[in-house]
A and B are shown apart, each in its own frame.
Chain A
Amino acid sequence: MAEKIQFKRPSAWFFLGLIAFLINPIFVLIALIIFSQRKKILLNIASQTAKINGALAFLPVVRTEAKIPDQPAGGKLNRPLRLDRRKKYLQIALNSTLADAAAIIAVRPPSERIILEIGTPLLKIYGVQAVRQIRIQAPDAYLVADNKCADLAEREAEMLAAAGANATTVLGVAPIETIDRFIFACEKNRLDAMVDMMNVADPLAVLKRLKKAPAVVILHRGVDETEFSQEKTLPYYQIKQIKGNFKTLIAIAGGDTIKEVQQAIFNDADIAVIWKSVYKASDQTAALIRAFLREIK
Chain B
Amino acid sequence: MLNPKDKYLQIAFNRSLPEVKTMIDLLPSSERIIIEAGTPLIKQYGQFGIAALKKWWIAKVGKSGYLVADLKCLDRGASEVEAARAAGANAATVLGLAPVETINAFIKECARAGLDAMVDMMNVRFPFEILGQLAVLPAVVILHLGADEREASRSKRLPHEQIHRLKGTYDRMLISVAGNETEREVRRAFFNDADIAVVWRSFYDTPDKTADLARAFLEQI
Q: Is A277's CB within 8 Å of the partner chain B? A: no
- How far in angstroms is the closest Cβ of chain A from B204? 10
A128-179 with Cβ < 8 A to chain B: 128-130, 147-148, 150-153, 155-156, 159, 171, 173-175, 177-178
Contact partners of A66 in chain B: CB under 8 A: 45-48
Instruction: Scan residues 2-23 of chain B and give those whose CB is less than 8 A from a CB of chain A.
Output: 14-19, 21-22
User: Which single residue of chain A is at the shortest CB-CB distance from B51?
Assistant: A62
- Complex interface residues of chain B between 38 and 91 (CB less than 8 A to chain A): 39-40, 42-49, 51-52, 55, 71-72, 74-77, 79-80, 83, 86-88
Contact call A177/B45, Cβ cutoff below 8 A:
no
Q: Are A177 and B101 in contact (CB under 8 A)?
A: no
Residues in chain B near residue A155, CB distance under 8 A: 14, 40
Q: Any chain A CB within 8 A of the CB of B134?
A: no
- Residues A51-73 near B (CB distance < 8 A): 52, 55-56, 59, 61-63, 66-69, 71
Please give the distance in Å from A189's CB to the nearest CB on chain B.
Answer: 15
Q: Is the CB of B105 within 8 A of A228?
A: yes
- Interface residue count on the A side (C-beta < 8 Å): 54
Checking B18, B101, B148 against A229 with a beta-carbon cut-off of 8 angstroms, the contacting residue is: B101
Give Cα A143–Cα B88 distance, bound, in whole angstroms.
31
Given contacts A123-B46, A150-B122, is CB(A52)–CB(B76) below 8 Å?
no
Contact with B along A250-288 (1 / 0, CB 8 A): 000000000000000000000000000000000000000
Check if B26 is an interface residue, CB within 8 A of chain A: no
Q: Which of A1, A152, A228 touches B15 (beta carbons < 8 Å)?
A: A1
Tell me if B105 and A177 are in contact (CB < 8 A).
Answer: no
User: B75–A223 contact, CB under 8 A?
Assistant: yes
B148 close to A178 (CB less than 8 A): yes
Q: Which of B43, B52, B99, B151 contacts A156 (CB 8 A)?
A: B43
CB–CB A52/B99 < 8 A:
no
Please indicate the chain B residues that have their CB under 8 angstroms from the CB of A1 in the complex: 15-16, 19
* Contact of B74 with A198 in the complex, beta carbons under 8 Å: yes
Chain A residues contacting B87 (CB-CB under 8 Å) are 61-62
B15 — which chain A residues lie within 8 A by C-beta?
1-2
State whether the Cβ of B123 lies closer than 8 Å to any Cβ in chain A.
yes
- Tell me which residues across on chain A come within 8 A of B123, comparing CB atoms: 173-175
| Chain A proximity of B98: nearest CB distance (Å) | 6
Q: Is the CB of B74 within 8 A of A129?
A: no
Are B16 and A71 within 8 A (Cβ)? Answer: yes
Instruction: List 17 other contacts, CB 8 Å, given A56-B55, A150-B122, A152-B148.
Output: A48-B18, A121-B80, A121-B83, A123-B46, A124-B47, A127-B43, A150-B72, A152-B39, A175-B122, A175-B123, A178-B148, A180-B152, A198-B74, A199-B99, A222-B102, A224-B75, A224-B99
List 16 contacting pairs A-B, 8 Å CB cutoff, sorted by A.
A48-B22, A52-B18, A61-B88, A62-B86, A124-B43, A127-B43, A147-B43, A148-B72, A171-B95, A175-B148, A181-B148, A199-B97, A222-B98, A223-B76, A225-B99, A228-B104
